[in-house]
Amino acid sequence: MARVHLLATGGTIASRRTDGGLSATTPAAELLAAAGPLPGLEVTVSDLTTVPSFALTGADVRALVREVRGHLAGGVDGVVVTHGTDTMEESAFLADLVHDDPRPVVFTGAQRPFDAPAPDGPANLADALRVAADPAARDLGVLLAFDGSVFAARGVRKVETLRSAAFGAPGRGPVLRVAGGAVAPLGRPPRPPALPLDLDAELPRVDVVACAQGSDDALLRAAVAAGAAGVVLEAFGAGNVPPPVAATAAELVVGGVPVLVCSRVPSGPVAPLYAGGGASLARDGALLGGDLSPWQGRLLLAAALALDPQDPGQVLAGRL
């Protein structure tokens, strides 16, 4: 019999309606009971916290990753984490960056609360538990299971605010599918080695600066003035930014502040194509973030700065 641990952190899957709005109060044991019978699975449970994911801090997520590691060390075949959908893609990605175990860690949640007339959480949780116990999920790293699809942590994004099919991996697609209780493999993306991050230490501050038509460099300069050790540009298209942003980005790189360029477009990589845009940014030393979202790019750059403050590009090599 496969052994899986369920670690609950709150989110919509654990929420009930109150006069003040949804509140995450449902414990892990009750979540598991609602998922229904799971033949062939032995599931243990624990509650780490009960908060919406928009309220999680970096320290909270590092504690979550440490807790996952502790349960894996206890000998289970996999771990499932219930989590709010707002920042699930960030928590899953950070967990994946340091995950050096073949056993799966599977994040899941819900779009409708626990006390909704037709909650989606129980089915999502049942799928995630099955995935965590299935040999097909081994060596895939950290995963996110939602609405029958299972995505690798890298590249996954929340693509719907309210519909049940909340997540996608634009340009990549799912790596597993769950249908009728069976787990079917779809793809096996390459995995770089885990990063040796110290999970007890705070990551360097990295800010995301969004670009809009006509943007100046005020927010970029303000981020560095506020203490950002690195900056991610949420650029147009294949990695282009307004001229004032490009000019200041070049200054920052010369001054030792790394700049990572990601796109605001959901699918496709950034590339050094346009003079005055991506080509100029790359020429001036900015790092191009491949197809990572700005938010996952922020975590990767922060991790690289933690490991090599002088040359984070060395850590990023092969990961973008």
Residues with active-site annotation: 12
What is the token pair recorded at 305?
């700065």
Query: Amino acid letter at 168?
Result: G
The HSE-up count of residue 66 (CA atoms within 13 Å, CB side) is 12
Using CA atoms, how far apart are residues 88 and 54, in angstroms rounded to an integer? 9
Name the β-bridge partners of 105. 79, 142
3-state SS class at 24: strand
Q: 237: burial class by Cβ within 10 Å (0-12, 13-18, 19+)?
A: middle
3-state SS class at 301: helix
Q: 6: burial class by Cβ within 10 Å (0-12, 13-18, 19+)?
A: buried
